[in-house]
């Protein structure tokens, strides 16, 4: 019946040319995020920050085509051919580019070959660095009192080595001038504008790595621009802004007042748990990279679990014990294949702690008991007081479950414990995340919310020097695990994400004070 549609789908894939935005990850558009979440293949280059990769679905193929030390950039026609090849395989291909894909992004060129071969495509515009980098520096690119427009100009030389910019025409517009790719030609730009009659004291600014945690803003005037850039070792990627509006940066700067401005946080929690922490840190001004080093893999064709669910439906269990949010998710995914929450009607529920409780609440269930301390031994000891001879207990949980829970429960006579492994915890490195390089950065911290998170990180990145990791940890257990691996540790005693943010702020301040 669906044959016709299926044929069409199988035949060809599609390409989305997507703007990733200027740097800070949350500046991608909603549409860009949706398209990424659905991608089979993502082809990206150097301007795309690593944080973006957490938006990809698991298993998506990642292809880097940018420049990296020692490697040459993939040639443009090779990139075009790659997009075509993947689309012809029937894949959903995202070509992810920094800023807006059509602004100095060669987006147009990449589409030509697709058009020729009848491949469908869509364009998802992005927030361009030409406007966003100035905005994050407090520079409005137009202002009614100072200019009638803005010009965005490339500072990239043509293949014949010339810059080929009509400086006279530009100077006459009175527009704010925004130069991209202008760091290696800044001298030609400045001289060109001065010769064209622009005043030497025209305000100017360089915004380096705009919108990222490493953003730097240098304000000066036209005649001093080169000198200031060199004295401060300003580097690409940077935009150069010239015009009266550049002079507003001092008054309109806003980013410095965010408490975590300039801080980069690597969040290592499993994907399902990291977004709350990540968005809280972003609101405080940090750049966040989500690198889930721990993944959850449900055990496939789990006969023991299926049998247990049948018994549950017959009222065979007095208690079900849930020991992690992932445990709740995996259990209910299996349950819902053959039943719904009413299967639990006659059964009491024990949850190990807040996260587990929250996950249950999403399914309309309240826990009947939560231990006074959130660990396996306390849970076992306190639950065993509520048990009666003959009770049968279901514990669906990780294959590496905590033994203390069972030890405590086994002290009660004449009960049956069905401890069933429902998922494996796997450690994996994100291929796009160069941990050793990223964590060497003085403003980059790793955040750990559990000892298993620390172990996950160390297992995922075994070859790096862990002593260079600056670790912000929740709780003494997490901290002592991090110390065991030689990490530099700041610990937040309270198991609250906001206190983790406070500790991060303190750590970053301590380090920058030391430097100063």
The footprint of ligand SAH (CB under 6 A) covers 22-23, 47, 97-100, 103-105, 128-130, 133, 180-181, 207, 209-212, 236-239
CB of 186: closest distance to ligand SAH in angstroms? 11
What the block records as the tokens of 194 is 């001065």
Mapping DSSP onto H, E and C, the string for 107-172 reads HHHHHHHHHHCCCEEEEECCCCHHHHHHHHCCCCCCCCCCCCCEEEEECCCCCCCCCCCCHHHHHH
Rounded-to-10 torsion of CA 387, 391, 396, 401: 50
Closest Cα to residue 289, out of 435, 478, 125, 505? Answer: 435
Q: Which residues of 21-54 are buried (b: 16+ CB within 10 A; e: fewer)?
A: bbbbbebbbeebbebbeebbbbbbbebbbbbbbb
Handedness of CA 308, 313, 315, 317 (dihedral sign): positive
Q: Which is nearer to ligand SAH, 141 or 472 (CB)?
A: 141
138: alpha, beta or left? (left if phi > 0; alpha if psi -120 to 50): left
Do 31 and 3 meet the contact criterion of CB atoms below 8 Å apart?
A: no
Q: Which is nearer to ligand SAH, 63 or 236 (CB)?
A: 236
* Calpha distance 164→290 (Å, rounded): 42
| Owner of token pair 């995020």 | 33
In Å, the largest CA–CA distance within the chain is: 95
Nearest-CB residue for ligand SAH:
99
CB of 187: closest distance to ligand SAH in angstroms? 16
Catalytic residue among 45, 86, 97, 209: 45
Please count the other Cβ atoms lying within 10 Å of the Cβ belonging to residue 116: 10
Pairing status of strand 319-322 against strand 392-398: parallel
Task: List Cβ neighbours of 233 (8 Å cut-off, separation of 6 or more).
Answer: none
CB of 207: closest distance to ligand SAH in angstroms? 5
Distances in whole angstroms, Cα of residue 164 to Cα of each of 151, 167, 192, 293:
15, 9, 10, 49
CB of 130: closest distance to ligand SAH in angstroms? 6
Catalytic residue among 11, 67, 373, 403: 67
Q: Which is nearer to ligand SAH, 17 or 447 (CB)?
A: 17
- Secondary structure E strands in 299-346: 319-322
CB of 93: closest distance to ligand SAH in angstroms? 19
Q: Which is nearer to ligand SAH, 204 or 309 (CB)?
A: 204
45 is catalytic: yes
CB of 134: closest distance to ligand SAH in angstroms? 9
What the block records as the tokens of 2 is 């669906």
Q: Which is nearer to ligand SAH, 102 or 427 (CB)?
A: 102
67 is catalytic: yes
CB of 49: closest distance to ligand SAH in angstroms? 8
Q: Which is nearer to ligand SAH, 289 or 330 (CB)?
A: 289
Q: Which is nearer to ligand SAH, 66 or 316 (CB)?
A: 66
Q: Which is nearer to ligand SAH, 216 or 271 (CB)?
A: 216
CB of 184: closest distance to ligand SAH in angstroms? 9
Do 418 and 309 meet the contact criterion of CB atoms below 8 Å apart?
A: no
Q: Which residues are catalytic?
A: 45, 67
């Amino acid at each position: 019946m669906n044959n016709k549609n299926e044929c069409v789908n199988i035949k060809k894939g599609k390409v989305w040319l997507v703007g990733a935005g200027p740097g800070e990850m949350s500046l991608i558009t909603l549409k860009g995020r949706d398209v990424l979440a659905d991608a089979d293949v993502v082809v990206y280059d150097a301007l795309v920050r690593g944080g973006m990769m957490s938006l990809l679905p698991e298993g998506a193929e990642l292809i880097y085509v940018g420049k990296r030390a020692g490697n040459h950039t993939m040639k443009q026609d090779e990139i075009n051919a790659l997009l075509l090849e993947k689309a012809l395989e029937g894949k959903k291909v995202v070509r992810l580019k920094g800023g807006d894909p059509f602004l100095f992004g060669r987006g147009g060129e990449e589409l030509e070959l697709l058009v020729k071969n009848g491949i469908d495509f869509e364009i998802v515009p992005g927030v361009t660095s030409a406007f966003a980098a100035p905005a994050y520096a407090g520079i409005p690119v137009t202002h009614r009192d100072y200019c009638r427009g803005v010009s965005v100009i490339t500072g990239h030389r043509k293949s014949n080595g010339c810059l080929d910019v009509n400086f006279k025409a530009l100077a006459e517009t009175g527009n704010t001038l925004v130069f991209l790719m202008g760091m290696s030609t800044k001298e030609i730009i400045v001289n060109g504008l001065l010769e064209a009659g622009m005043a030497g004291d025209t305000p100017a600014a360089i915004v380096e790595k705009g919108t990222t945690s490493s953003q730097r803003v240098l304000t000066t005037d036209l005649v001093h621009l080169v000198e200031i850039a060199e004295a401060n070792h300003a580097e690409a990627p940077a935009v150069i802004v010239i015009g009266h509006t550049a002079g507003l940066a001092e008054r309109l700067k806003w980013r410095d007042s965010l408490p975590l401005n300039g801080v980069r946080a690597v969040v290592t929690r499993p994907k399902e748990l990291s977004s709350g922490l990540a968005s809280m840190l972003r609101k405080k001004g940090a750049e966040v990279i989500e690198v889930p080093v721990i993944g959850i893999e449900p055990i496939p064709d789990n006969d023991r679990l299926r049998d247990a669910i049948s018994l549950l439906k017959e009222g065979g269990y007095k208690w079900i014990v849930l020991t992690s949010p992932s445990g709740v998710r995996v259990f209910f995914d299996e349950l819902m294949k053959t039943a719904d929450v009413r299967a639990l009607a006659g059964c009491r529920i024990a949850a190990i702690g807040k996260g587990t409780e929250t996950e249950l609440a999403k399914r309309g269930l309240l826990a009947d008991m939560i231990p006074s301390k959130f660990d396996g031994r306390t849970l076992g000891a306190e639950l065993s007081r509520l048990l009666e001879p003959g009770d049968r207990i279901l514990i669906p949980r990780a294959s590496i479950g905590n033994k203390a829970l069972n030890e405590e429960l086994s002290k009660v006579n004449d009960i049956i414990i069905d401890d069933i492994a429902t998922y494996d915890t796997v450690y994996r490195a994100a291929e796009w995340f160069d941990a050793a390089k990223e964590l060497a950065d003085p403003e980059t911290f790793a955040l750990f919310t559990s000892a298993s998170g620390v172990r996950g990180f160390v297992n995922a990145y075994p070859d790096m020097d862990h002593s260079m990791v600056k670790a912000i940890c929740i709780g003494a257990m997490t901290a002592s695990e991090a110390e065991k691996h030689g990490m530099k540790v700041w610990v937040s005693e309270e198991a609250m994400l906001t206190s983790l943010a406070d500790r991060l702020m303190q750590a970053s301040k301590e380090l920058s004070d030391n430097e100063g």
